[in-house]
Chain A
Amino acid sequence: PHNQLQLIPPTFNDTLPALQFAVYPPPFQELPSPFLELFDLDSIFGSEKSLL
């Protein structure tokens, strides 16, 4: 048995649920970032000689 030549069937496009891009949620107000402490670094980081 043979198939009679048929019309070219169009493709049925699978419509899947749409992809969802990720987005950041709105940012909650947190605490301010840590503050900078002030030190005299030379008295700590300097060489032995200078500390003496």
Chain B
Amino acid sequence: MSKIVDGNYTSVVYSLIKDKQYNDVIKIITNMSDRKRNTRPGLSLLAYCYYYTDDFQNASTIYEQLAALWPQETDYKLHHAQSLYSAGRYEDALRAANGITKSGYENQVRKLTAAIRYGMEDIAGARSLLETNTGPKDDPDIDINYGCLLYKEDRYEEALQKFLNAQTMLGYRPHLSYSVALCYYKLKDYTSALKHIGDIIERGIREHPELGIGMTTEGIEVRSVGNTLTLHESALVEAFNLKAAIQFEKNDIDSAREALTDMPPRWEEELDSVTLHNQALCSMDMSPTQGFHKLQFLMQQSTYPQETLQNLLILYCKHGYHDLASDVISTYSPVKDKYLSNYIREFVDAVIAQQTSPDDAYRKLDNMANKLADSLRKVTRSVQESREARDDKRTKRALLDYENTLEKFIPVTMAQAKIYWDLENYAQAETIFYKSVEFCNENDTWRLHVAHVLFMQEKFKEAIAFYEPIVKKNYNNILSVNAIVLANLCVSHIMTAQNEEAEELMRKIEKEEERLYYQEPEKKVFHLCIVNLVIGTLYCSKGNYEFGISRVIKSLEPYNKKLGMDTWFYAKRCMLSLIENMTKHIIVMRDSFYNECLVFLNQCEFHGKEVATMPDEEDPTNKKELNNVTCEARLLKSLILRQLEY
């Protein structure tokens, strides 16, 4: 920046402030000699600019200095307390606010103290301050603040009403629209929530093109817009995070990710903890390491979003890091994990226990399941009662309550069934599922796994009744259905002498795969391959190797596309079973069949050099060169040739 000419300081500095070039002003003033800088104008403008760049830490230091140098100026004391509050230093802010005793400031101090109490999650404290308020009675701020307290008490409908009231009085305010959207989100009315978020974003794009909304998603490199008061006042960071949350709950992770990249761009070190936390969740399926880093980083800060600990624990369980989960549970109790619900704590506890004692885990889960089933029955009664009383509001609340409790119940009952599933005790797993039929009958995950346990017990007719609706529901987009579901349905049809149904389904899959190939030739699909493998395995397991193996062979064509670690695993299982039965002279095959097998294995040998047969980290023999399909295909070939007494 060029040097300012004498006589131009006033006009240059105030123009910069008017243009929101606060960082330039900060640079000018901090570069001055102490004698000039430590004057009232120097410090006052410096503090002001720090505040407006969201640098509340520095703002509070300078306002504190001003308050000490000019003790008669109570506003400096107020700004000092205010900056501490904005920096999240609530205890310090309270002390500073309590130090302001000058008459005429009571209302402002009370208002600020209430905000600090609210920030500290001291809802009762904030409420009592609000109730002794002596300001004007029709102040819409009062509605807003009561709305905030009601929200914190989970009374979302009443909170929403307060915010809507304030909106009628004040007109459009970004933060108010955000609060409204937030209540709709909690009430699971996502359409209304998204509408209000849309308003905030639309206004943001129109009024602040400089914030670069959506640019990053478009692939345009934009430099950070920084954490300015403008950004803060636009409520965009809040809105985009809420949008991501809604998309995630709607199971649309891509849109959730997009909502986060649409946000005005900032450097990673400038990100607020809520955004960082949500970015971590979005990156878990693509780069879990990065996601874990972010969450672990957040946990080391003095404050972090209250969801952090719970999510970290769930993700540790998901990725099998049970030791880390149990470390975290013991390290972070009981002061820091005040946000961890009993439900999550008990659940994680059971998952950890499962590693050493399935019995113990089962008992823990059973306790939870019983408690939750009781609540579900209670809520069901409440739904019925409020319906009979024609109380719509109460019915809606009770239904929401039911939905939320069911969301807790399902993982518990699934984890219980999983314990038996892992023991291959499918009958007992089925019993567990039927214990929860009254609650879960409409739930897709539950129905899918009921189908699986029926299938594994070869109760094919019953399995169809559970698999088929899942397939029917997605018939127009059949490749969106998990391949194993399609495969098992085909097998179930075949086993109940409904071969035509199976064939029709397979034709449908084949057609869809061909269509997809023309649209996106690079995209890999394994649906038909898996269906053929599962059917092939079925026939082999029933002793019909000729038909079974021919299916397996067909499943891997073309080899360069379909040969992979998993597909080879299942193909080789069938081959080995064939060879075992040949060795025992249980079966004898035609010569032409052996030739087919040898041709197949030759192909696998040819295409399988780069296809590993086990994941890198699971190779204890350190003979990596042997763990590829080419090697194993040769081995199988030699076994067959020996059978043929070559």
Contacts and interface: CB of A to CB of B under 8 A. Distances in A.
A21 B537 contact: no
Contact of A26 (B39, B111, B151, B284): B151
A12 to B, nearest CB: 5
Contacts of A5: 537, 540-541, 573-574, 577
Contacts of B108: 31
B17 interface: yes
| Chain B facing A: main interface SS | helix
Contacts of A49: 6
Interface in A1-52: 2, 4-31, 33-42, 44-47, 49-50
A45 to B, nearest CB: 4
A23 B574 CA distance: 51
B445 A7 contact: no
B263 to A, nearest CB: 13
The contact size tier of chain B is 35 or more
A49 B126 CA distance: 55
Contacts of B44: 37, 39
A6 B541 contact: yes
Contacts, number: 206
Interface string B401-438: 00000011011001101100110000000000000000
A26 B147 contact: yes
B466 interface: no
A22 B277 CA distance: 7
Give the interface centre of A19, A23, A37 by most chain B CB atoms within 10 Å: A23
Nearest to B284: A19
B177 to A, nearest CB: 11
B41 A28 contact: no
A23 B411 contact: no
B151 A50 contact: no
Nearest to B32: A45
A34 B317 contact: no
Contact of A7 (B86, B307, B541): B541
A41 B418 CA distance: 74
Contacts of B4: 45
Contacts of A20: 307, 310-311
27 contacts: A7-B458, A8-B537, A10-B456, A13-B445, A13-B448, A14-B418, A16-B347, A17-B344, A19-B311, A19-B314, A20-B311, A21-B245, A21-B281, A22-B245, A22-B307, A24-B178, A24-B241, A26-B163, A28-B126, A30-B82, A30-B85, A30-B115, A34-B63, A39-B41, A40-B10, A44-B39, A45-B9
Interface of A: 2, 4-31, 33-42, 44-47, 49-50
Given A23-B182, A26-B183, 16 more contacts: A2-B580, A8-B484, A8-B533, A10-B456, A11-B484, A18-B407, A22-B278, A22-B306, A26-B182, A28-B145, A31-B82, A41-B10, A42-B9, A45-B36, A46-B7, A47-B6
